[in-house]
Amino acid sequence: MNDYIIRATAGNGAIRAFAATTKNTVEKARSLHNTSPVATAALGRLLTAAAMMGIMLKGEKDLLTLQIRGDGPLQGMVVSADSNAKVKGYVFNPYVEVPDKYEGKLDVSAAIGHGNLSVIKDIGLKEPYSGQIELISGEIAEDLTYYFAKSEQTPSAIGLGVLIDTDITVMAAGGFIIQLMPDASDEIAEKLEEKINRTPYVTSLLDMGYTPEDILKLILGDFDIEINEKKEVEFYCNCTRERVEKALISLGKEELEKIIEEDKKAQLHCHFCNKEYNFTENDLKEILKNAL
């Protein structure tokens, strides 16, 4: 099964909801970055959230970036998504190991530690929109819930989960975001809160084989749910040799000449997909010529 997100409305438009299955996306991130189980879980949760937040963007070319910086051994991570649910991301320390929270439960919050979360939206304006909060738990779903309440004044319920197999590959991943629209009545808000409090953890739902449709039906089944859209999710990096050349050119003529003289080559690395780009002395001379 391919990864996908569904977008739904419920309660006569008072509720909007997203749910995703992201096993392949998170497994691709794991294999590209060689992440340890707890790093895979952290990155997978953030990638899943970014994919759902990406499709909230309105413009075709809009971009969303989520950054977490923490004082834990993971140090932080960066994830980006476009409005078509193409996501990419990396962690600062992929090899981190921390003791489990309890048996079988990876301790993402211990890996992240205290720090902050930034949400950056490039929606084609001169300056991108940027909101930042302090992490409240480092579990990511709770931190994003707090971000939506504080920075976007949108009450939300967020669940994110990644299940790791015994061979450390990804067994299942997914999540949901459910939000109350400004015109939601108190009655709907209370009923929804009650329902969410009784919803099992996403990891349990994934373990039971719940699809995104099943998850939303479980939570919103009493609210006249209507599924409006289904979109494929994919880990995709748009780096190219051409873009990397542009980055080299932007260093300036002097810096390039210095590299040619001292190093006689250059190796650039894409953080998002771990790809290496190698430039020989001749390549660099050619770039220098074109840069003038």
**Member of 14, 215, 270, 287 binding Zn ion (CB under 5 A):** 270
Supply the minimum distance, in Å, between the C-beta of residue 32 and Zn ion.
9
* Token pair listed for 227: 């599924």
Supply the minimum distance, in Å, between the C-beta of residue 270 and Zn ion.
3
**Member of 53, 64, 173, 237 binding Zn ion (CB under 5 A):** 237
| Cβ distance to Zn ion smaller for residue 101 or 275 | 275
Q: What is the length of the chain? A: 292
Supply the minimum distance, in Å, between the C-beta of residue 66 and Zn ion.
17
User: Does residue 272 belong to the site contacting Zn ion (CB under 5 A)?
Assistant: yes
Supply the minimum distance, in Å, between the C-beta of residue 250 and Zn ion.
17
Sheet of 129-134, strand order? 129-134, 115-122, 63-70, 76-82, 86-91, 234-235
User: Does residue 144 belong to the site contacting Zn ion (CB under 5 A)?
Assistant: no
The answer to whether 46 and 68 have CB atoms below 8 angstroms apart is yes
User: Does residue 78 belong to the site contacting Zn ion (CB under 5 A)?
Assistant: no
User: Does residue 87 belong to the site contacting Zn ion (CB under 5 A)?
Assistant: no
| Cβ distance to Zn ion smaller for residue 67 or 80 | 80
| Cβ distance to Zn ion smaller for residue 87 or 237 | 237
**Member of 77, 178, 202, 273 binding Zn ion (CB under 5 A):** 273
Q: Which residues bind Zn ion (CB under 5 A)?
A: 237, 239, 270, 272-273, 275
